[in-house]
Structure 1
Amino acid sequence: MNHPTHTTLRSRRNWYIHSCYTSGDYKSCLAAIEEELVACAGLCEYPIYCKGLIMRHQGKVKESLQYFQAATSLSPHNVLNLKQVARSLYLLGKHRAAVDVYEETTKLGFEDWEIWHNKGLCFTYLKDYEEAIDCFERANDVQRHDASYLQLGKIYCLQEDFKAALKTYQEAVDFSPQNAEILTTLGLVYLRLGENQKAFDHLGNSLAHDPLNPKTILAAGSIIQDNQDMDVALMKYRIAAVKTPNSAQLWNNIGMCFFGKNPPKYVAAVACLKRALYLDPFEWLISYNIGLVHLNKQQYASAFHFFSASINLNPNFAATYMYLAITLARLDDFENSCAAYQKSIEINESDSTTRLNYAITLFNNDEIEQSREQFDVFEDLFAQSGEGEDDPDQEVTAQSAELREALKVEEA
């Protein structure tokens, strides 16, 4: 009678361990692993490898790294072990160490999409964008994949190379035309470039494949909102709110929809914007928008508070200083109002609206010569920009005409 050899028993145990792991029966799998480790004095590679996978699945990443390193010491040239060591290092935030391990795998002459892609992720976190781009391109050379295209486009956007980002996402759409995430991302790049129609077309295609994608709905709603169709935008946002009720950006947009209605719904706008601020207290744009609402409600002390908060979070946005200046003028703080106007002009010299408001404030405080100087600059900038030709802003047109007439009267 032939008795089974130890190798045959080990093979059967490995098969059983693999079966338990793939079926998700981790309790039985761990028990079998412990038996095998005792039987072979801890010198069996596959059970150690499997235990590392289970530890990582349970969130014990540091322990998983130890097991994968143990498996690697038993079989230093096994690429699977090295890949898992690098993955655990990446999850632990040790990106440079992970890169070193991934480079060990390439020295073994192993070409694998996952290795190049994950190496690119490490370089992205290290902010070494050129190396990251090279890795994602190499990953796509081995095997084209949606994830690599998305990461590659993301890096180009971080570098503000939107032409390269568009080319990358367009290649991705050609490769995977029904991927809603790629279509949405391409639409967002067009939106950032101000090409709203192309953005809306791609976002519409994305919604056709995934009609409940909150990111896509939010982007499409913002375009509709920019076109002043507040009711339709609110319908879109209502759908997104079911999926992402804690999105600060969503509540910010809803609040500005209520503010943009005719007549404005101030109470609803403030309520939504304050919910957005609660969800993301460090987003400068939300504080800026609440300031606008309070300014329009003539609640100048509250407007001052929120504009100041917005400036503390983002001191480089000219319009915030302009509205802060208007608020200070309404609070009879003429000196600081002028200082805020000057800061706004320092950041953006070519904004005609700031010059007009500054001229009005100067005129209201009997600084006629300075008002005339600012008004002359406004008229030059306004003429150069061509803002009043196709779709003139009625409020700007009315205020400039009124100030022009008042300045002529003063001159006379």
Structure 2
Amino acid sequence: MRKFSLTDNSSENVLDRGSRNWLLHARYVRGEHSLCLDLADELLKQNDNKHRYAQYIKGSVLADAGRIQEALEKFHSCLRLQPQDPEPLKQVAKCLFRQGRFQLALEAYLEADKITKHPDADIYCALAECSWNLGDILHGVEWARSAVQAGGGERAGALLARLLLASNNINGALAAYDEALASHACGAETLAAAGALRLRAGDPRRAFQLLGAALAQQPSQHTAALALAAMMLQHKDLDAALARLKTALAAHPTCVASHVNLGLALLAKKKFVAALTCLQRAVWAAPLSSRASHDLGLALLICRRNTSAFCRLATAAALEPSQPYTVLLIAIALERLEDNRCDAAYVRSAKLAPDDPLIRLNLAGRHARAGRLEKAFEEATVTADLLQRAEKPDAHLASSLASLMAILKDAGEDLSQPASKSVETPLPAIEDSIITKNEMAPDEV
């Protein structure tokens, strides 16, 4: 319950003999809203509807119950009785914000800021949120900085970090989170957000510390559990990732990202039926998510359900046409279905990502399987150049490329000396090479 100022000469002063404002306040903070409303009505009846604190408390109760318009009327009654009190005006602005009337809420908060005698961090935070919802990120950052300077605590620091992140200032957002964490005892939500941003910025050690602290405070913290699961999946720790994802789903059963990551983790453990079930749930929860459709199509393709995979991948491509890996998977599905349109799909994926060695290698393999050995050799040479320019060449791709070059040699293609130098033989091979001499099967992302 926020403070409510009363003038010294008011007949409602809490120190006046017989005042029951303390009882009104106590019933409100204890959640005894029914008794609170009865007492407020009684006080209003006794004072000819001029009891400001009763109007204020009644408006607060109505706002908590979701009856925003009725609450606005009560707060306006408070303002008519005492126009220079900022607290009812702040509540008016809060109600307008909850109704989605952000411009009016911004104007109300600005008016409250004018009549407030001291800097109010709550007003500055609210102004930053209004500016953010109106699309004015720069002014939102300025208001958030003012809130931090006014002593807004964790709320102001976290809000500033989110606004800086929304303006693509990742370093500034990291600094804001660090300052908030160093100055205040932050809650699990702020720790989880800071950890997720650290993970995004490429600092896994610090991210792990923050995410662990968030889960220590709140074991069911959804964001922290999901981010930790992503880290564990990157390190191939599937069992620990599954445990974290189950925690995330228990806290947020409809989270699409949790269902998708759980499905991919189960797919990596070769539990195909459970993986398909999780990915299908993700698609049901978010039918317009291209990521969910893409991952379900990938799982169906791995399970050799090519027609179903093509349908899901076509949906993903319709939602996000510029995603090259989705187009590549469509090409693989079409090739398995012996559809000649697969060539156009392979070429389309290469145009979308001309510098991706995986896509160029798949295109080379398609040319080889179709008997276009000269084009296959050209694409293989391009792939070798891309792998050489990479800082850390992918051993899987290098092994597949070496197998393809060997097949082309056995097929009688005349390989020039520069081409033979483009493939480094020391690169390790993998046991389950995608392209073998007996069967040149298309690669899978």
- Shared fold, TM over 0.5: yes
Distance 2:137 2:347 in 1: 37
- CA distances 1:22-79 after superposition (whole Å, capped 9, x unpaired): 3333223222322333343333322221211111011101111121122112211110
Q: Does 1:235 align with 2:233?
A: no
Structure with the larger helix share: 1
1:354 partner amino acid: I
**Counterpart of 2:258?**
250
Q: Which residue number in structure 2 is paired with residue 355 of structure 1?
A: 360
1:26 corresponding residue in structure 2: 33
Q: In terms of mean alpha carbon deviation, does 107-116 or 117-126 score higher?
A: 107-116
Gaps of 5+ in 1: none
Indicate if the aligned counterparts of 1:33 and 1:47 stay in contact, CA closer than 8 A.
Answer: yes
Report the equivalent of 2:19.
Answer: 12
Q: In structure 2, do the counterparts of structure 1 residues 193 and 317 end up closer, same or farther at CA, with 3 Å as the change threshold?
A: farther
Q: 1:224 to 1:23 in 2, by over 3 A?
A: closer
1:392 to 390, 395, 399: 395
Aligned to 2:229, which of 204, 221, 224? 221
What is aligned with 1:376?
381
Task: Give the AA of the match of 2:214.
Answer: S
Are the equivalent residues in 1 in contact too, given 2:78–2:88 (CA < 8 A)? Answer: yes
The CA deviation at 1:356 is 0.5
Pair 1:46-2:53 in alignment? yes
Q: Mean Cα displacement is larger for which, 29-38 or 167-176?
A: 29-38
Taking the TM superposition and a 5 Å limit, the aligned residue runs for 1:62-141 are: 62-110=69-117, 111-141=119-149
* Distance apart, 1:344 and its partner CA: 2.5
Aligned-partner Cα distance in 1 for 2:27–2:218: 35
Q: Identity over the aligned pairs, expressed in percent?
A: 28
Structure 2 CA distance, aligned partners of 1:40 and 1:201? 58
Distance apart, 1:285 and its partner CA: 1.5
Pick closer, same or farther for the CA change 1:410–1:190 going to 2, 3 Å: farther
Indicate how the Cα distance of structure 1 residues 224 and 41 shifts in structure 2: closer, same or farther if over 3 A, else same. same
Query: CA separation in 1, counterparts of 2:353 and 2:202?
Result: 19
Counterpart contact for 2:355–2:386, Cα < 8 Å: yes
When the two structures are superposed, what TM-score results if normalisation uses the length of structure 2?
Answer: 0.83
Q: 1: distance between equivalents of 2:320 and 2:176?
A: 31
1:293 is displaced (CA, Å) by 1.1
Which residue is 1:315 aligned to? 321
Amino acid at match of 1:345: A
Distance in 2 between residues matched to 1:34 and 1:209, nearest whole Å: 42
Q: Larger deviation: 173-182 or 9-18? A: 9-18
2:212 matched residue in structure 1: 204
Is the Cα contact below 8 Å between 1:178 and 1:209 reproduced in 2? no
- The equivalent residue for 1:293 is 299
In structure 2, distance between residues paired with 1:218 and 1:114: 31
Partner residue of 1:180?
188
CA separation in 2, counterparts of 1:24 and 1:214?
A: 28
Which one-letter code corresponds to 2:77 in the other structure?
A
Instruction: Report how far residue 348 of structure 1 moved.
Output: 2.4
The equivalent position to 1:57 in structure 2, one of 38, 49, 64, is: 64
Deviation of 1:10 after TM superposition, in Å, equals: 9.4
Structure 1 residue 143: deviation in Å?
A: 0.7
Could you say if the C-alpha distance between residues 254 and 23 of structure 1 is closer, same or farther in structure 2, counting changes exceeding 3 Å? Answer: closer
Pair 1:153-2:161 in alignment: yes
Deviates more, 1:139-148 or 1:15-24: 15-24
Q: Which piece of structure 1 moves more, 118-127 or 156-165?
A: 156-165
Distance in 2 separating the partners of 1:124 and 1:384: 42
Cα contact 1:173–1:179 (8 A) shared by 2: no
What's the RMSD between the two structures over aligned residues? 2.4
User: Across the two proteins, how many residue pairs are aligned to each other?
Assistant: 401
* Cα contact 1:359–1:375 (8 A) shared by 2: yes
- 5+ unaligned residues in a row in structure 2: which ranges? 1-9, 415-445
